[in-house]
Amino acid sequence: MTQAESCAHLLRDAASDFLVDQAGTARLRGWIARPRPVERRLWRQTAELGWTGLLLRESLGGSGLPMADAVLLSEVAGRYLFAEPLVACAVMPALLLAAADAGENSELTARLAQTLVEGQRMLAVAWQEAPGELDAESPRCEVAGNRLTGRKCFVPGCESDAIVLVWARLGGEAAWVAVDAQGEGVRCIVEPAGLSSQTTLRFDQAPVLDTLALLRGDAARHALQRTLAGGRLALSGELVGLAAGALAQTLVHLRSRQQFDRTLGSFQTVQHRCVDLHIEIELARASLQQALALFDATSPAEISPATDAAICAAKARAGDAAVRVGREAVQLHGAMGFCDEVDIGLYLRAALHANAWLGGPVALRRRFATHSIDISHA
Partner 1 sequence: MPENRNDWSDDEFRARFRAWLAEHYPDAWRQTDRRPFHRLRGEGLRECMRLLHAHGWRAPAWPREFGGMGLSFRKQWIYQQEWERAGGARTVEPGETHLAPTLFRHGTAAQRTHHLPRILRCDDLWVQGYSEPGAGSDLASLRTRAVRVGEHFIVNGQKIWTTQAAESTHVFALVRTGQPGQYPKKQQGISFLLIDLRSPGVRIRPILNLAGEDELCEVFFNDVRVPVADVVGEVDEGWAVAKSLLGHERLWLGSPAMAARALGIAQRLVHECGLAADLAVTDRLAQLQADLHDYRALYTRECDRVADLGVEPGPEASLLKVYVTELLQRIVQFSVDIAAEYGGQTGDLRLGDWTLDLHWPYMMARPGTIYAGCNEVQRDILAKTVLQLAPQRA
Least distance in angstroms from the C-beta of 177 to partner 1? 36
Which residues are registered as beta bridge partners of 282?
Answer: none
Which C-beta is closer to partner 1: that of 336 or that of 363? 363
Least distance in angstroms from the C-beta of 55 to partner 1? 24
Which C-beta is closer to partner 1: that of 144 or that of 369? 369
The DSSP letter of residue 91 is I
φ/ψ of residue 246, rounded to 5: -65, -40
Which C-beta is closer to partner 1: that of 185 or that of 265? 265
From residue 353, how far is each of 44, 181, 320, 347 by CA, in Å?
24, 23, 12, 10
Least distance in angstroms from the C-beta of 2 to partner 1? 11
Give the contacts of 197 (CB within 8 A, at least 6 positions apart). Answer: 35, 36, 37, 156, 157, 158, 190, 191
Least distance in angstroms from the C-beta of 234 to partner 1? 18
Contact indicator for 311, 233 with CB cutoff of 8 Å: yes
CA 168 to chain centroid, in Å, comes to 21
Least distance in angstroms from the C-beta of 259 to partner 1? 13
Least distance in angstroms from the C-beta of 317 to partner 1? 5
Least distance in angstroms from the C-beta of 321 to partner 1? 10
Which C-beta is closer to partner 1: that of 91 or that of 277? 277
φ/ψ of residue 271, rounded to 5: -60, -45
Least distance in angstroms from the C-beta of 364 to partner 1? 8
Which C-beta is closer to partner 1: that of 254 or that of 351? 254
* Helix, strand counts (H, E) of the chain: 11, 10
Amino acid at 307: T
Which C-beta is closer to partner 1: that of 26 or that of 375? 375
Contact indicator for 200, 186 with CB cutoff of 8 Å: no
Which C-beta is closer to partner 1: that of 123 or that of 239? 239
Which C-beta is closer to partner 1: that of 152 or that of 285? 285
Q: State how far the Cα of 197 lies from the Cα of 182, in Å rounded to an integer.
A: 18
Q: State how far the Cα of 87 lies from the Cα of 55, in Å rounded to an integer.
A: 11
Q: Which residues bind partner 1 (CB under 8 A)?
A: 251, 254-255, 262-263, 265-268, 270-272, 274-276, 278-279, 282-287, 289-290, 309-310, 313-314, 316-317, 362, 365-366, 368-369, 373, 375-378
Q: How many residues does the chain have?
A: 378
Q: How many CB atoms are located within 10 Å of the residue 210 CB?
A: 16
Give the contacts of 229 (CB within 8 A, at least 6 positions apart). Answer: 295, 303, 307, 308, 311
Which C-beta is closer to partner 1: that of 158 or that of 264? 264
Q: How many CB atoms are located within 10 Å of the residue 8 CB?
A: 19
Which C-beta is closer to partner 1: that of 137 or that of 276? 276
Least distance in angstroms from the C-beta of 24 to partner 1? 26
Amino acid at 348: L
Q: State how far the Cα of 180 lies from the Cα of 219, in Å rounded to an integer.
A: 23
Q: How many CB atoms are located within 10 Å of the residue 15 CB?
A: 23
Least distance in angstroms from the C-beta of 257 to partner 1? 12
